[in-house]
Chains A and B, each alone.
Chain A
Amino acid sequence: MSTLAGWARFPEDDLTVATMPRVHSALDREPWLVALVSWVTYSVLGVILVSHYGVMGDALARVADAYYVLFSRDPHLASIGFVWNPLPGLLAVPLVALKDFWPALARQGVAASLVSAAFGGLAVFFFVRILKRLGIPTGLRWTVTALFALNPGVVYYAANGMTDLMMAATMLAAVDGLWGYLEERYLSDLLGSSLWLAVGFLIRYEVAFWAAIVAICLAFGLARLPLERAPTQRRRDWIDGLLVFWMAPLVSVAIVWVFLNWTIMGDALYFLQSSYGNSAQLATGTYAYAPVDAAAGNLGATLTYLIRQTLLFPPVVPGIVVLLAFGLAGRRERHVRALIVAATTLAIPLLQALLLYRGASAGWLRFFLSFIVFGFVAIAFGARLMSTNKASPLIWGSCLLLLVAGDSATYAMLGPSTPLHTESPSTFQEIAPVVAYLDAHPRPTVLTDSFRSFPIILRVQRPKQLVISSDRDFPELLARPLGQVDAFLVPRPTATGALDAVNRRYPELWEGREPWAELLADFPGGDHWRLYAIRAAPEAGAGPLAPPVSPEQVAPRRASP
């Protein structure tokens, strides 16, 4: 007997990492196949969606970020931007590089849809794995998977290039890994979970809040596990070590992000407080919506708003109630797993409630997408708990009915007559005259803030004709344009147009009250762009100094912290 073996210090207790090789079965191919089919379907739908109905502003803005990295006048990686998390833009870079073969990748923003479709496939992959971990019989598993993969909210956000489902996919992946570790104690599962957590942070900041909530749940649940063979100190070390292990990649990535913000933008918290960031945009009142305004500072209205959002997928309500009741009723691993799902479903909506109460969120419907994704997990989990060994037809019948009803509710809520707060895709009609003008006048060098003009930059024939805000000499050229820049392109300084760097530097310019500028062209409609030629040097000290201008200030970061 090797008394000194590594595990001798802790005789086989429930905390020991599993070392047996895993047994693989032919069924392991199932998640891959389903995910592949979903991925291809979402990609095709994405292309159709974008070409026929227009593209979501935020999705296009991320494609534009990727486009500046390669094709702007000053190509460099930092053009990817620092307000938004970088991964969606970075993933679009290699796709945008292929624009000569398929122009729609950049011009229509198809690249964003292809990225979100890949994460849609990933969401389905981990959803199937979670169902398998629950031990749901094959036929039922396929039906539930189909209802999930075809849920209108899942399909729409997988296809439209937004990041909401991408974030949910990484959360599913992280939950799957945590479940796996709790079930079998394979460290590789825990490792996968923590790495997906870090990927999630590179997609959306909300993931950090979610991770904190789940960590609290885990600490609570693990402390209650009946581990007779593990001494108290050992159990405490395990919980501490496990949480550190799980959160370390996320925390590291967050520190790197803050470090890069500090190094490149000169402000460690630039991504939070940039003049283009969320709070700045909300302050312009562009996204005013009565129920959201009512929620600010009013707890009752906030909670009403939160509950109303469950209309997106009403079955989430019974699902959460069952899981919470079950999770708190017992102390074993499966109860911890129930708590994790309950916390995951509620964390981001709770964060939104917090932000709404503080008047810091636009409260878009898509922020509540976890009601759909984890509502499915909750219902499947709940049904599995209630049907004992054999699949009970009554329970699974009502479960499927609930899910079908949920899908229909999602469909209704995403439609044009929804009572909830949604955004609509935009087309390129309003900027077409600006693009046509610039293409007809290749000579002048035009300075513009990509914050609002990103669709124009994406569509002009010669992007290098434009000095844009991610160019490193932008602040200098904005301050001293004479002889270096021929014209300024500015949007009407109302709504988010007021955050445009040119408008902030020269607030009177758009109205035509700057003597050194001459109106060359006027493009009414939409942002009401105007092109002013620089005829003399702007007076020294005119207007406030522009704050550091960043790479990405592309589109409105429609809420979310």
Chain B
Amino acid sequence: MWFDLLLPALHALRLPIPLGGTSNHFRTDVLRKVGAWDPHNVAEDADLGIRLYKAGYKTAVIDATTYEEANSRTGNWIRQRSRWVKGYLQTWLVHMRHPVALWRALGPRGFVGFQLIVGGTPLTLLLNPLYALLTTLWYLTHTGVLHSLLPPWLYYVAAVNLLLGNLAFTYTNMVAVARRNLWDMVAWTAFSPCYWTLMSVAAWKALVQLITRPSYWEKTDHGLTSAPATPGVAERGTAS
């Protein structure tokens, strides 16, 4: 979904692409020119993607697959995702130190894309559990307090997001695995909301750690599968 659908879409829309770390190819002179990446940022790839866009370079997605081992242990997985979310937050904070300058550097299109992808991803993950809690509270109590909290039209928008938004994203995951001919995995994508819940756990961990240990690198264990990875067992993902 990330590599087959989302990144090509960002590319087609000419929006900044936060690089994924598995397999990137750079021209060394360009890398030197933009000052490489921020060594304090734990998602240096995302930071570099924005830097390149700022400097007017294009990132393209090529039609080749890099396989890596799936991170299949929950604790390990949450640590890895929390590092990514923390890195996104860092990237967002660092580049937003001078919003006007950023606007000028990225242009209106790039600025909006930056807000949605780099700012929006962690924000959504952080807010999701709060909204879920509010919704659950309403269904349990039908309390009128929530009605007076926000203007009515916002509830229509929220309902559309809750129902159609979640379904659309779940179905996008389904499309992504079908595109890879992984038909045996189609049905499992229905569990995407469970996956997002774990992402939210990681996001909150990231937020806390952003304050307590901003540059701490949550190491991801590898070699979880003892046998050498057979083709097909491996999944795509971003590097640690």
Whether A6 pairs with B181 at a CB distance below 8 angstroms is: yes
Q: With an 8 A cutoff between CB atoms, is B70 at the interface?
A: no
Which residues in chain B, 65-79, are within 8 Å of chain A measured between CB atoms? 65, 67
Q: Does A304 touch B at the CB level, under 8 Å?
A: no
Instruction: List chain B residues, Cβ under 8 A from A9.
Output: 181, 231-232
* Contact (Cβ within 8 A) B178 A187: yes
Asked if A249 and B179 sit within 8 Å, CB to CB, the answer is no
26 A-B residue pairings within 8 Å (CB atoms):
A6-B180, A8-B231, A9-B181, A10-B181, A15-B181, A17-B178, A17-B181, A77-B156, A187-B178, A190-B178, A191-B175, A240-B183, A241-B185, A241-B186, A241-B187, A242-B186, A244-B174, A244-B186, A245-B186, A248-B174, A249-B167, A252-B167, A256-B163, A256-B167, A259-B163, A263-B139
Interface centre among A190, A241, A242, A263 (most CB of B within 10 A): A241
Q: Smallest CB–CB gap between A90 and chain B, Å?
A: 12
0/1 per residue, A3-14, Cβ < 8 Å to B?
111111110000
Is B234 located at the chain interface by the 8 A CB criterion? yes
For B178, give its contact among A3, A4, A241 (CB under 8 Å).
A241
Residues on the B chain within 8 Å of A32, using CB: none
Interface residues of B in 187-240 (CB under 8 A from A): 187, 190, 231-232, 234
Least CB separation from B180: chain A residue: A6
Pairwise interchain contact B171-A249, C-beta atoms closer than 8 A: yes
What residues of A have a CB within 8 angstroms of the CB of B145 in the complex?
none
For residue A238, CB closer than 8 A to chain B, the reply is: yes
Of all chain B residues, which has the CB nearest A235?
B183
With A4-B231, A238-B183: A245-B174 Cβ-Cβ less than 8 Å: yes
Chain A residues within 8 Å of B163, by CB:
256, 259
B65 to chain A: closest CB distance in Å?
A: 5
Interface residues on A, range: 20 to 34
Residue numbers of B with Cβ under 8 A of A are 64-65, 67, 139, 156, 163-164, 167, 170-171, 174-175, 178-187, 190, 231-232, 234
Q: Which residues of A contact B183 (CB under 8 A)?
A: 15, 234, 237-238, 240-242
B231 and A16 contact, CB distance less than 8 A: no
Contacting residues, chain B, for A256 (C-beta < 8 A): 163-164, 167
Within the assembled complex, what's the spacing in Å between the Cα atoms of A5 and B181?
A: 12
Closest CB pairs A-B (n = 9): A241-B183, A9-B232, A241-B186, A237-B184, A237-B183, A238-B183, A244-B187, A252-B167, A4-B67
A7 CB, min distance to chain B CBs, angstroms: 6
Find chain B residues with CB under 8 A from A252 CB: 167, 170-171
Asked if A187 and B231 make an inter-chain contact with CB atoms under 8 angstroms apart, the answer reads no
Residue of A nearest to B138 (CB): A263
Cross-chain contact A5 with B65 (CB below 8 angstroms): yes
* B77 to A: closest C-beta gap in Å: 22
In angstroms, how far is the closest chain B Cβ from the Cβ of A330? 24
Whole-angstrom distance between the alpha carbons of A8 and B65 in the complex? 11
Looking at the assembled complex, report how far the CB atom of A194 sits from the nearest CB atom of chain B, in whole angstroms. Answer: 9
Q: Does A389 lie at the interface of the complex (its beta carbon under 8 Å from any beta carbon of B)?
A: no
Q: Please report which residues of chain A, range 214-249, place their CB below 8 angstroms from some CB of chain B when the two chains form the complex.
A: 234, 237-238, 240-242, 244-245, 248-249
In the complex with contacts A8-B231, A237-B183, A248-B65 CB distance below 8 A = no
CA A263 – CA B182 in complex, angstroms? 36
Closest chain B residue, CB of each to CB of A10 = B181
* CB of A388 closer than 8 Å to a CB of B: no
Binary interface encoding of chain A residues 85-121 relative to chain B, with 1 for a CB under 8 A from any of its CBs, else 0: 0000000000000000000000000000000000000
A:179-200 near B, CB below 8 Å: 187, 190-191
Closest to B139 in A: A263
- Bound CA–CA A479/B239 (angstroms): 66
Which A239-270 residues have C-beta < 8 A from chain B? 240-242, 244-245, 248-249, 252, 256, 259, 263
CA distance A3 to B234 in the complex (A): 13
- Distance in Å from the Cβ of B44 to the closest Cβ of chain A? 26
Which residues on the A side are within 8 Å of B167 (C-beta)? 249, 252, 256
Whether the Cβ atoms of B65 and A4 lie closer than 8 Å is yes
Instruction: Indicate whether A429 reaches chain B with its CB closer than 8 angstroms.
Output: no
Residue numbers in A under 8 Å from B182 (CB-CB):
241
A77-B156, A240-B183, A241-B183 known; A6+B174 contact, CB < 8 A: no
A25 at the B interface (CB under 8 A):
no
Interface membership of A424, Cβ < 8 A? no
Residues in B whose Cβ lies below 8 Å from that of A7: 181
* A248-B172 Cα distance, complex, nearest whole Å: 11
CB-CB under 8 A from B180, the residues of chain A are 6
A2 contacts the other chain (Cβ, under 8 Å)?
A: yes
| Chain B residue at minimum C-beta to C-beta distance from A185 | B181
Q: A4-B67, A240-B183 are in contact. Are A248 and B231 (CB under 8 A)?
A: no
Closest-CB distance, A93 to chain B (whole angstroms)? 13
Please tell me which one of the listed residues B170, B184, B185, B234 contacts residue A4 in the complex, with CB atoms under 8 A apart. B234
Find chain B residues with CB under 8 A from A17 CB. 178-179, 181
A1 to chain B, nearest CB (A): 12
Closest to B233 in A: A9
Decide yes or no: A6 and B186 within 8 Å by CB, A17-B179, A248-B171 being known contacts.
no
Least CB distance, B175 to chain A, in whole angstroms = 6
CB distance from B119 to the nearest CB of A (A): 29
A6: chain B residues within 8 A (beta carbon): 65, 180-181
- A198 CB to closest chain B CB, in angstroms? 9
Q: How far is the CA of A242 from the CA of B164 in the complex (A)?
A: 22
**In the bound complex, what is the Cα–Cα distance between A5 and B180 (angstroms)?**
10
For A191, the chain B residues whose CB sits under 8 A away are: 175
For B64, the chain A residues whose CB sits under 8 A away are 2, 5
Bound form: Cα–Cα A498–B33 in Å:
81
Of residues A6, A16, A252, A259, which shows the largest number of chain B Cβ atoms within 10 Å of its Cβ?
A6
Min CB–CB distance B170 → chain A (angstroms): 8
Least CB separation from B152: chain A residue:
A76
CB pair B179–A3 under 8 Å, yes or no, is no
Closest Cβ of chain A to B172, distance in Å, is 10
- Closest-by-CB residue of A relative to B234 is A4
A6 and B64 CA atoms in complex are apart in Å by 9
A contact residues around B234 at 8 Å (CB): 4
Q: How far is the CA of A67 from the CA of B181 in the complex (A)?
A: 47
**A248-B190 contact given A2-B64, A77-B156, CB 8 Å threshold:** yes
Closest Cβ–Cβ distance, residue A285 to chain B (whole Å): 39
Question: With A and B bound together, what is the CA distance between A17 and B176 in angstroms?
Answer: 11
Kindly list chain B residues whose C-beta atoms are within 8 Å of the C-beta of A4: 65, 67, 231, 234
Tell me if A241 and B184 are in contact (CB < 8 A). Answer: yes
- For A245, what are the chain B residues with a Cβ–Cβ distance below 8 Å? 174-175, 178, 186
Enumerate chain B residues within 8 angstroms of A238, measured Cβ to Cβ: 183
Complex alpha-carbon distance, A259 and B163, angstroms: 10
A4 to B183, CA, bound (A): 18
Chain A residues whose C-beta falls within 8 Å of the C-beta of B156 in the assembled complex? 77
In angstroms, Cα B231 to Cα A249, docked, is 31
Residues in B with CB closer than 8 Å to A259 are 163
Residues of A with C-beta under 8 A to B65: 2, 4-6
A256 to B171, CA, bound (A): 14
Among residues of A, the one whose C-beta sits closest to the C-beta of B164 is: A256
Among A15, A234, A238, A244, the one with the most B-chain Cβ atoms within 10 Å of its Cβ is A244
CB of A346 to closest CB in B, whole Å: 28
Q: Which of A10, A187, A240, A245 has the most CB of B within 10 A?
A: A245
